[in-house]
Structure 1
Amino acid sequence: MPGTSVKLYGRRKEESAAAGKDARLEALAGEDEGYDEYIPLKERRRREAERRAGKLGKNRRDRERARLEQEREEDERMASKRAAAAISSAAGDGEGGGEDAAEAAAGPGAEGSKKPRTLLEAAKELKKATANLDAGTIKQMRAKEEEHRMLKEANQVQTNALMSAAEVAKGTRYTEALTTSWRPPKYYRDMTEEDCDKLREKWSILVDGEKVPPPIKSFREMKLPDPMLAALEAKGIKRPTPIQVQGVPVALSGRDMIGIAFTGSGKTVTFSIPLIMLALEEEMKLPVVGGEGPFGVILCPSRELARQTFDVVDYFCKHLHRGGFPELRTVLCIGGEDKRSQIDPIQRQGVHCIVATPGRISDLLHTHKVHFDLCKYICLDEGDRMLDMGFDEEVQKIMNHFKQQRQTLLFSATMPQKFQDFAKDVLVKPVLVNVGRAGAANLDVIQEVEYVKQEAKIVYLLECLQKTAPPVCIFCEKKQDVDDIHEYLLLKGVDAVSIHGGKEQEERNEAIKLFKEGVKDVLIATDIAAKGLDFPDIQHVINFDMPDEIENYVHRIGRTGRCGKTGVATTFINKMVEESALLDLKHLLMEAQQRVPPVLMALEDPDQEMDEVDGVKGCAFCGGLGHRITNCPKIDKTASQKAGAQRDVLADTGGYGGDW
């Protein structure tokens, strides 16, 4: 039937369409099995942030847990060490008590115990271990811990002034000292170490270092040229002092060196002779021409000290030239004087030695008027001051201009332990040569201390000047006091001159010249004249003000009693002086076996029973004998200077510095 067939065809068509639709749906479903649902970018970022935060939080918790665990273990170890130290230092409370304390110190944290110990348990065990100790022992234990912590913080040297920036950046460390052609005589080379130690003991010389050259008892045996020996003889120097006996051979050998000796012991000759011998050897190999040199440089903290050192070096160089050796030229580079007169000799003829203050030589190097292409020797006179704040950055700028390894020498009468440790770490196999305790007073100086009221000091000064014949040197803390005393003495008819940092350089030079020549009887000065200046005939030094730091006192009184002569030092004290400074002075007098006045004997020493904590007598930071590092005034002063220097840098005022 036609109608029926049409109807069936239409149904088949619908069924086939439905079947095709179902097949397409099944195909799409099959494709959807591997399809990831689309997530908007914002949602993906939110989920990623949550995932990272969860992971970071887990890592942070793990790190915090590990840190706490490490701190707990460290505290347990420290508690055990403290308990063991307490037990070993106890005065002996019986064997049974010691065993109980030892068991308490071991506690649950001992080997074989698996249960972790809390800080509270460690504290209880420490308390039990120290229960039988007296209060003094416990106090020393706590003081020792505190001092170790403070010393570690304070001993961080502000600037690595002994290495150039390039050496620090590249990690360059020289492993061998410079070699020279100098050799000691064969009979000295054949000496055993025991023989050398006996000789050093005879001269009260302490040394520290590897393969230290032997001490040599005469300048002739040091193989110095005859004109040099004649120059020493003309100055009245017939045999070497203890620092020269050991220091000159060390320096001639090319070794880095730290030299410590009391004031007036001949340190300038010790570092001048090796520099001159080095320059002489180089000149005889190949003469220098215009623009070349120097072979060595000596840096000094003040202009007056630099001029004095220059006179010594120039004196020996001229004697060598008169004796038939090549001419050695020395140039003085200090601030306050014409720069052109300092540059001309270098550029016209060349120079062998330079004596300078850090600011001026740094300026000449920066402007390329001087270069250190040939320089292989540098000495820091008053090395503790040169490495301290104010000079350290200038010294590092100078070190940046060295093109090769150099021999470095540090000399001072006062060398705090932190600078000794720093130099030992930075220098190349250095040799420490120490004659007496670092910071000790010269035993040839008779020290007198008098209590004088503040308003009566300037009047009493006239009476004090009558103790000895001139010349006399008076030291003050403030420039204004220097000017006031100078005016007062002139009105009283005393021939006096004065110097301080506020005066013009020409006026300072003239004052030093007149005083040295004996034209003027009295020199009034600030600490600018306290370090290094050599006035051989001074019989009396007066400290109008007691300095805050005992090392400045040592340098001041060191202007007298030089070269084996005896001198007198009078110091005015009153209630204006800090108690820590008075305690330092008291202990310094006792160490030198000098008379201690009743006013100082009456001072109570809170740290008297702690004199030998950890083998350190006095302050481990500044060297003062009357206080510990826990109440050292210099630490606070250094911290203030650091903060002030940082503020100055931000304000672009150039920071704080010394003589330029």
Structure 2
Amino acid sequence: MPTESAPKRRRIQRSPSPAYKLDDADDSYEPYIPVAQRRQARLAKLTSWGVDKDKSRSPQDEQDEREDEEREEERRREKARKERTLLMEAQEVHEKKAAEDAKKTEAEKAEEADAEILAAIASRKKLASDLELAKGVQYTESMKTTWRPPKFIRDRSEEEHRLLREKYHILVDGEDIPPPIDNFTDMKVPDILVKFLKSKRIFTPTPIQLQGIPTACAGRDMIGIAFTGSGKTLAFCLPVIMLALEEESKLPFVRGEGPVGVILCPSRELATQTYENVLTWTSALSKEGRYPSLNVLLCIGGISMSDQSHVMNKGLHIVVATPGRLIDMLEKKRFTFDSCKYLCMDEADRMIDLGFEDDVRNIMSFFKHQRQTLLFSATMPRKIQDFAQQSLVKPILVNVGRAGAANLDVLQVVEYVKQEAKMVYLLECLQKTPPPVIIFSENKNEVDDIQEYLLLKGVEAVAIHGSKTQEERQYAIKAFKSGAKDVMVASGVASKGLDFNDIQHVIIFSMPKEIEDYVHQIGRTGRSGKTGIATTFVNMNTPEQTLLDLKYLLMEAGQKVPPFLLSIDDPRAAQGGSLKGCPVCGGLGHGISNCPKLEDTQRRQMASHRISDDRGGY
């Protein structure tokens, strides 16, 4: 076996060792310099180099240096921001706001607060069906109709139209306003109906009819405002009767068809009264056989719809309804709104206020096509007007007098009567005028107490309020209207729109908190050009703010203001603010921040939320 040869060794080349010279006389030797001296020398060198560099550096170098400084400053600010707390920021904002508020007057602060509240309640979605809102459907053109004013009226100049409106104190606002017409015949109302109206001593249109009927007949959306007893019912009923007459003449309606128009009312009594008026006018039309008969349906709670089966078995032309029962009938498909073109809301400020707004939206969801919408009321605060203008299509505002103003044909008498003396003094007030007389009270129990007291004193009186059955309410109104009873004691349910013949005297036993309710209550007298008296009892229990609203209302109407009302000072005047009316309720004696209607609305909302929360626990 061969043996392995041993590996060869390689010589490792090492670097030569350094040579040290130890000769002290060598010139290359550098003496030792202490560290401190070396640092000073280096610093001096750098400083002198920086000065030289400043003299010779370019603009680019200067820009780079500025950018470096800005970045460094930004880093410092960011660090400071992180170190700041939210509490510190809130404190600074509060101090800044306090400094700004210190410069403002009390009036400016109040106006800002009112503007904030108004902006908060104005952010409501417009009045349309859920389907239209969901799909973003928006109508830009008004409804088209076949009605046109006579040629001689169309040929009149705009100046002539303006002078006619000024003559009757009619204010209008909108685009392409139809001309005012001061004659029923020129409005193309059927001659039979004109003859019937004359038999009822209605010879010429009232101001709201003079402008309102042509506007409605032209297919325009409309907001109609006029004082109580000014003939608003005829202004919105006549156009829908003429529309239904035209549709029936083209092709007769059969069962399951219609209605053409619907009139919504906030109370059963007002709906019943409107229904009876429409029935009277349509019956007069068909009396001589020249015009077809129209079917009118009353759709309210508290009555059996089977009693009107003879109407339901035919085609429907007009429905007069309250929201709750109408929704029930539509959901049961007893009739549809497939061909409905006309929607009118009487006492519209109540109809589209928070109480009925959801019901109105629900009703609108049953419409399949565009409709003509009309809103009528005696009290239409600015908040409701603005909201309605957003919801209607090119609306026309027709206003006869200030919205919420009292009827000038009513003599308003305000008397200070102690609470315990009211009942006794009531008997004295009843001697002022012959019957019939209406007495209003805000409290249902008080209504019953007043009726019982009057009956004990031998006065023929009936009572009506929301807790009574429909049969009791109908009996009370029928007995009072027929003259069988001399006095009707009522809560607010009878104050809206109800028309009673020859009421010479209204007594307000307890002043309502909301001034617009007072306007409606005194408006039961002084209707259709007649005069009347309204006596109001006030005392220490009446809120001062309500008395201030009453004071301004009397001053506006040129009525006598009693000394105890004149002595009430307006706190807004002391602040130097402008005395503008409340945009929510129309009261002249307070701003939106003190509005009793807004407070009541918020209280109802909170109560409804509590009820829904309680139900959610089960």
TM-score, length-normalised on structure 2? 0.83
Q: Is the 8 Å Cα contact of residues 477 and 526 (structure 1) preserved in structure 2?
A: yes
Quick check: 1:292–1:347 contact (8 Å CA) kept in 2?
Answer: no
Q: Distance in 2 between matches of 1:531 and 1:349?
A: 32
Deviations 1:500-535 (A, max 9, x none): 111111111111111111111000010000000001
Partner of 1:542: 507
Is structure 2 residue 228 aligned with structure 1 residue 255?
A: no
| Higher normalized helix content (fraction of residues) | 1
2:247 — aligned with what?
A: 282
Shift of the alpha carbon at 1:146?
Answer: 2.2
Name the counterpart of 2:156.
Answer: 191
Name 2:558's counterpart in structure 1: 593
Asked if 2 retains the 8 angstrom alpha-carbon contact of 1:293 and 1:371, the reply is: yes
Give identity over the alignment, percent. Answer: 57
Q: How many residues align?
A: 538
Listed one character per residue, the Cα deviations across residues 336-386 of structure 1 (whole Å, up to 9, x for unaligned) are: 1112224x2354112100101111111001111121111110100000000
Q: Which amino acid aligns with 1:296?
A: G
Query: Within the alignment, does 1:476 sit opposite 2:475 as a pair?
Result: no
The reply to whether residue 617 of structure 1 matches residue 580 of structure 2 is yes
- List gaps (5 residues or longer) in structure 1: 12-57, 66-71, 73-117, 131-136, 654-660
Cα distance per residue 1:590-637 (max 9 Å; x no partner)? 111111111111112112367973xx7222222111112232222222
Aligned counterpart in structure 2 of residue 638 of structure 1, from 575, 598, 601: 601
114, 130, 134: which one pairs with 1:165? Answer: 130
Residues 252 and 609 (structure 1 numbering): CA distance in 2 closer, same or farther, change over 3 Å? farther
* Structure 1: distance between partners of 2:522 and 2:339: 39
Code of the residue aligned with 1:624 in structure 2: it is: G
Q: 2:578 matched to 1:579?
A: no
Tell me the secondary structure at the aligned position of residue 404 of structure 1. Answer: coil
Kindly report the root-mean-square deviation, in angstroms, between the aligned alpha carbons of the 2 structures: 2.5
8 Å contact from structure 1 (residues 300, 386) kept in 2:
yes
Which AA in structure 2 matches 1:621?
V
1:550-582 alpha-carbon deviations (Å, 9 max, x no partner): 000000000000001010000000111111100
Alignment correspondent of 1:657: none
Counterparts of 2:3 and 2:491, CA distance in 1: 134
1:345/1:351 contact within 8 Å kept: no
Deviation at 1:167, TM superposition (A): 0.2
Query: Alignment partner for residue 307 of structure 2, among 341, 346, 349?
Result: 341
Q: Which residue of the partner structure matches residue 4 of structure 1?
A: 3
Partner of 2:197: 232
Greater shift, 622-631 or 417-426, is seen at 622-631
| 1:352 aligned residue | 317
Equivalent residue for 2:173, pick from 179, 183, 208? 208
- Are residues 651 and 278 of structure 1, via their aligned partners in 2, closer, same or farther at CA, if it must alter by over 3 Å? farther
Distance 1:482 1:121 in 2: 55
**Counterpart position of 1:149:** 116
1:652–1:240 CA distance, 2 compared to 1 (3 A): farther
* Cα distance in 2 between the residues matched to 1:213 and 1:535: 32
Matching of residues 301-380 of structure 1 within 5 Å: 301-323=266-288, 324-342=290-308, 344-380=309-345
After superposition, the Cα gap between the structure-2 partners of 1:210 and 1:611, relative to the gap in structure 1 and judged at 3 Å, is farther
Paired letter, 2:218: S
What one-letter code is carried by the residue in structure 1 that aligns with 2:483?
A: G
- Could you list the per-position Cα deviations for residues 164-204 of structure 1 after superposition, in whole angstroms to 9, with x for gaps in the alignment? 10000001000000010000111221222222112111110
- Going from structure 1 to structure 2, the CA distance change for 1:629 and 1:216 (only over 3 Å counts) comes to same
> Distance in 1 between the 2:100 and 2:411 partners?
54
- Equivalent position of 1:47 in the other structure: none
- Does the C-alpha gap of structure 1 residues 626 and 124 become closer, same or farther in structure 2, counting only changes over 3 Å? closer
How far apart are residue 122 of structure 1 and its match?
10
- Aligned counterparts of 2:100 and 2:521: Cα–Cα separation in 1: 52
Please tell me whether the aligned partners of residues 101 and 109 of structure 2 are also in contact (alpha carbons under 8 angstroms): no
Q: Which has the larger radius of gyration?
A: 2
Preserved contact between residue 611 and residue 617 of structure 1 (Cα < 8 Å): no
Aligned to 1:628: 591
C-alpha contact 2:118 2:592 (8 A) present in aligned 1 = yes
Partners of 1:291 and 1:346 within 8 A in 2: no
Report the CA distance between 1:646 and its aligned residue: 2.2
Question: For the structure 1 residues 259 and 184, does the alpha-carbon distance in structure 2 shift closer, same or farther, using more than 3 Å as the test?
Answer: same
User: In the alignment, residue 3 of structure 1 is paired with which amino acid?
Assistant: P
Alignment-derived partner of residue 88 in structure 1: none
The CA deviation at 1:645 is 2.1
8 Å Cα contact 1:292/1:346 also seen in 2: no
Matched with 2:527 is 562
Does structure 2 retain, via aligned residues, the 8 Å contact 1:449–1:570?
yes
Distance in 2, Cα, partners of 1:625 & 1:652: 40
Where structure 2 has 5 or more consecutive residues not aligned to the other structure, the ranges are 8-74, 83-88
**Structure 1 residues 502-517: aligned runs within 5 Å:** 502-517=467-482
Match for 2:584: what amino acid? Answer: F
- For 1:537 and 1:652, how far apart are their aligned partners in 2? 49
Structure 2 CA distance for partners of 1:126 and 1:547, relative to 1, 3 Å: closer
SS at 2:105 equivalent: helix
Matched ranges for 1:452-471 at <5 A: 452-471=417-436
Instruction: Sort the Cα spacing of 1:611 and 1:311 in 2 relative to 1 into closer, same or farther, 3 A.
Output: farther
1:389-428 deviation digits (Å, cap 9, x = unpaired) = 2211111111110011000000000011111001111110
State the distance in 2 between where 1:123 and 1:362 align: 52
Distance 1:619 1:525 in 2: 27
Q: Aligned to 2:524, what secondary structure does the other structure show?
A: coil
Give how far 1:125 is off: 9.2
For 1:326, what is the secondary structure of its paired residue? coil
Q: Is the 8 A contact 1:217 1:239 kept in 2?
A: yes
CA distance in 2, matches of 1:141, 1:504: 50
CA distance in 1, matches of 2:123, 2:448: 38
Cα distance in structure 1, aligned partners of 2:416 and 2:528: 30
Helix, strand or coil: the match of 1:341?
helix
**C-alpha distance in 2 between matches for 1:609 and 1:588:** 20
2:364 is aligned with 1:399: yes
> Residues 121 and 418 of structure 1: is their aligned pair in 2 closer, same or farther, counting only changes over 3 Å?
closer
SS in 2 for 1:349: coil
Residue 83 of structure 1: aligned partner: none
1:644 maps to amino acid: A
Q: AA paired with 2:272? A: R
Distance in 2 between residues matched to 1:449 and 1:126, nearest whole Å: 41
507 and 212 in structure 1: CA distance in 2 versus 1, 3 angstrom threshold: same
Is the Cα–Cα contact under 8 Å of residues 296 and 311 in structure 2 kept in the other structure? no
Change (3 A) 1:353 1:124: closer
Q: 1:425 maps to what in 2?
A: 390
> How far apart, in 2, do the equivalents of 1:470 and 1:120 lie?
66
CA 1:121/1:355 → structure 2, altered by over 3 Å: closer, same or farther? closer
Q: SS where residue 432 of structure 1 aligns?
A: strand
Deviations 1:293-329 (A, max 9, x none): 1100001011110010001111111111113101101
SS in 2 for 1:222: coil
Deviates more, 1:643-652 or 1:479-488: 643-652
| Distance in 2 (alpha carbons) for counterparts of 1:126 and 1:551 | 34
- Aligned partner of 2:105 among 138, 159, 163: 138
Which residue of structure 2 aligns with residue 53 of structure 1? none
Deviations 1:432-490 (A, max 9, x none): 00000000000000000111111111121111100111000000111111111111111
